[in-house]
Amino acid sequence: MNAKYEDVDFWRGVLSEEDRRRASPEVQARFEAAETDTSLRCWMDVASEVQREVLLDAGVPPHDVTRALALMRAAPYRHPELQPLCVYHRATRISKQGSCRQGDTLPPMPLLRLVAAAGSGGGAGGEAGGPVLQEADLISVCRPHDTHLLVAAAGGSSNSSSAGGDAEAGAAAAEGGDSSTSASSGGGGGNSEIGAARLSASVALVYIAEAHAEDEWPVRSSRYNGGRGPVCLRQSATSAQRAAHAAAFAAAFGLLPGPQPPAGRRCEEAQVAARRADKSGKAEQGQKQGCKRPAAELGQDNQEEKEEEEEEEEEQEQERGEDAPCPHEALLPVFVDPAEREPFSAALAPWPARYYAFEVPSRKLVFVSQPSDAADVDLAPLTRWMMRQGLV
């Protein structure tokens, strides 16, 4: 068998047969059965089984299958002309480094922000009746002096035409992602206090190129898809298609923003919040100083605060009647990496799963995670970094 293992034509036949079987209805059904929320197996286990079956059918003795499997996975690297025969080489977009490296200044990124699932006009980059989009930069969702967290992860819309899966890692290649890949970045978040330094972070989601699209690298995964069945998206060729996938994903998982309040209302709401924060700060200061005031004065203050709160509630109820429905903020700001240019992907190489952090307003890239064969998404490096920064 050693002579056969040195024969390029042997591996050409083996890899061609593996590729054919992976796309067959029979193996796709095996992938789907393994990729459920309750399964202890995953599609990578099935892929490994298929590779072993192909080797046995090619005449490899059972006692030598393990060694032959390692050589099979290494063959496309030893003979690069074989790579087009393997779906995990044809469809991968894995890159260890984009144009922007840790310590660099994040370049301008003209992305498309998802405003609503559908509208009369698509807005920037959209189509009539499609998702409402606005051209925006990631920094638009950041508060001054935030640390902005970017999470590039596999994801997708969660109906019968959406995404969800895992990553396959072998001795020779890592296969990764979901039917649709969303690179996450984001707004909202928390803050923490270390000494006199007050830190905060924003988080948003950026939807990038699909992984395991049904026309590229199908695995029919329903894992993490909330009982909606297998994710079956085609690769998005235009920004409008990608935005539709992103909108379906965001709608299914409750990430879509509600109607935005008028500018005047936003200002009034900000003033109300500021007054409440000011009252809270004064009360806290009084407690720290151990102030002791007569009960009559305290009662008068409480009555005044109660009257102010009642006035604020009346104003807000009146505004709700004029501007119904009442607006609400999105759980996360959702962006789309335009399919025609992909500035986010070009700068940060997020596919299929990666974490980043940059500072505002300097835009300095201060953290970049690295791909790992040990886990689909390895949170440990990010968690350690956030703890050092006092963000958790």
DSSP secondary structure, 10-74, as one string: HHHHHHHHHHHHHHSHHHHHHHHHHSSTT-S--HHHHHHHHHHHHHHHTT--GGGHHHHHHHHHH
| pLDDT band, residue 237 (cuts 50/70/90) | very high
Angle made by CA atoms 198, 335, 270, in degrees to the nearest 5:
45
Q: Please report the pLDDT score of residue 16 as a whole number.
A: 98
Distance CA 302, CA 380 (A): 48
Instruction: Supply 80's token pair.
Output: 């690069």
Q: Please report the pLDDT score of residue 356 as a whole number.
A: 82
- Inter-residue contact 338 to 112 (CB < 8 Å): yes
Q: Is the pLDDT at 314 greater than 70, yes or no?
A: no
Question: Which range is least confidently modeled, 124-128, 262-266, 281-285?
Answer: 262-266
Long-range contacts of 369-372 (CB under 8 A, 24+ apart): 370/96, 371/94, 371/96, 371/174, 371/176
Q: H or E segment at 136?
A: strand 132-136
Pick from 43-57, 191-205, 239-253 the range whose average pLDDT is largest.
Answer: 43-57
Distance CA 98, CA 342 (A): 12
- Share above pLDDT 70 across residues of the chain, in percent, rounded to a whole number: 61
CA distances from 290 to 84, 171, 285, 286, 294 (A): 75, 66, 9, 6, 13
Q: Is the pLDDT at 261 greater than 70, yes or no?
A: no
- Share above pLDDT 90 across residues of the chain, in percent, rounded to a whole number: 31
Distance CA 175, CA 222 (A): 17
Task: Quick: pLDDT tens for 95-149.
Answer: 777 888 889 998 888 899 988 877 644 455 445 567 888 898 877 777 666 666 6
Instruction: Supply 361's token pair.
Output: 């307003």
Question: Which range is least confidently modeled, 140-144, 217-221, 322-326?
Answer: 322-326
| pLDDT band, residue 211 (cuts 50/70/90) | confident
Backbone angles phi, psi at 317, to 5 degrees: -65, -40
- Inter-residue contact 85 to 12 (CB < 8 Å): yes
Question: Which range is least confidently modeled, 37-41, 74-78, 293-297?
Answer: 293-297
Answer with the residue of higher pLDDT: 26 or 179. 26
Q: Is the pLDDT at 21 greater than 90, yes or no?
A: yes
CB proximity list for 244: less than 8 A, separation 6 or greater: 130, 131
DSSP 8-state code for residue 186: -
Question: Which range is least confidently modeled, 9-13, 155-159, 312-316?
Answer: 155-159
* Domain extent listing, the chain: 2-90, 111-255+331-389
Q: Please report the pLDDT score of residue 150 as a whole number.
A: 59
Pick from 31-45, 73-87, 336-350, 355-369 the range whose average pLDDT is largest.
Answer: 73-87
- Which of the four CATH numbers 3.30.70, 3.40.30, 3.30.2310, 1.10.3470 does domain 111-255+331-389 have? 3.40.30
Check: pTM over 0.85? Answer yes or no.
no
Q: Identify the burial level of 11 via C-beta atoms within 10 angstroms of its C-beta, where 0-12 means exposed, 13-18 middle and 19 or more buried.
A: buried
CA distances from 122 to 37, 111, 227, 254 (A): 35, 15, 30, 20
Question: Which range is least confidently modeled, 124-128, 189-193, 199-203?
Answer: 189-193
Average per-residue pLDDT for the chain: 73
Q: Is the pLDDT at 168 greater than 60, yes or no?
A: no
